[in-house]
């Protein structure tokens, strides 16, 4: 019999039948830290890499399965979106993308702050997008909290694409091409949104999903623009 180091329960096997902790609880060392990093970011079971990979294969079906209860192999969506946003932020600042000569002086201060905090903005506005999606797809029967999970996964998916494009933005940051790339990214964002929505709300026709996705996205942009305006005014970036 093994005594669980977490709860003190006596058990036989690889995991405690009381709290679920592994029987192999060794001293923390460099191997432990490396295994922890690998498991969190790359491991097949519950890894961010695995979850992101699935979000680019059959995203809507994967998220639907997660909401229905198939969760053991996936990283928790809220934690994942925060970590992916943090990775985006680190790379963004390492590449010094918040200093671009292509931005004119009149709009520079405002756009600087919007681009600089884009990753946190999309995470912070997940409840807003949840509201607009819930509003447009209410008849599908999903509750507000399930749609939060849905939008968290979608945000991680889009941030993953934006991370891949950061090196491209670095090489065009002093040219007009920067705006072209960002516009392409916005188009990719909507394509991903529609693709995922079509799979997730698969009982609806493609046309209906497309129209409701546009409606949800437009309402989100309106609310987001208002929030940006309020933030700019409150922080004094509007001049």
The answer to whether 156 touches 80, Cβ cutoff 8 Å, is yes
Q: What is the pLDDT of residues 176-223, one digit of tens each?
A: 777 788 889 889 999 999 999 999 999 999 999 999 999 999 999 899
Between CA 198 and CA 58 the distance in angstroms is 11
Indicate the pLDDT class of residue 225, thresholds 50, 70 and 90: confident
pLDDT at 44: 47
Predicted structure pTM score = 0.78
DSSP-assigned letters across all residues of 158-226: HHHHHHHHHHHHHHTTTSTHHHHHHHHHHHHHHHHHHHHHHHHTTTS-HHHHHHHHHHHHHHHHHHHHH
Q: What is the pLDDT of residues 120-142, one digit of tens each?
A: 778 888 999 999 999 999 999 99
Q: What is the mean pLDDT of residues 28-40?
A: 67
10: helix, coil or strand?
A: strand
């Amino acid at each position: 019999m093994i005594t669980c180091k977490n709860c003190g329960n006596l058990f036989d096997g690889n995991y405690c039948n009381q709290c679920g902790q592994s029987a192999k609880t060794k001293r923390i060392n460099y191997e432990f830290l490396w295994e922890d990093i690998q498991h969190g970011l790359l491991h097949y079971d519950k890894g961010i890499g695995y979850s992101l990979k699935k979000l680019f294969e059959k995203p809507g079906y994967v998220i639907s399965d997660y909401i229905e209860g198939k969760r053991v192999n996936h990283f928790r969506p809220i934690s994942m979106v925060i970590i992916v946003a943090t990775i985006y932020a680190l790379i963004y600042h390492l590449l010094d993308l918040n200093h671009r000569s292509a931005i004119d002086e009149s709009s520079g201060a405002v756009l600087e702050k919007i681009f600089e905090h884009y990753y946190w903005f999309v995470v912070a506005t997940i409840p807003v997008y949840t509201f607009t999606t819930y509003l447009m797809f209410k008849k599908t029967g999903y509750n507000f909290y399930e749609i939060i999970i849905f939008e968290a996964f979608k945000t991680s998916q889009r941030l993953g694409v934006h991370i891949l494009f950061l090196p491209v933005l670095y090489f065009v940051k002093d040219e007009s091409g920067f705006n072209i790339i960002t516009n392409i990214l916005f188009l990719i964002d909507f394509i991903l949104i529609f693709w995922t929505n079509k799979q997730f709300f698969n009982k609806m026709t493609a046309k209906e999903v497309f129209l409701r996705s546009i409606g949800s996205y437009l309402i989100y942009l309106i609310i987001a623009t208002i929030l940006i305006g309020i933030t700019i005014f409150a922080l004094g970036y509007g001049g």
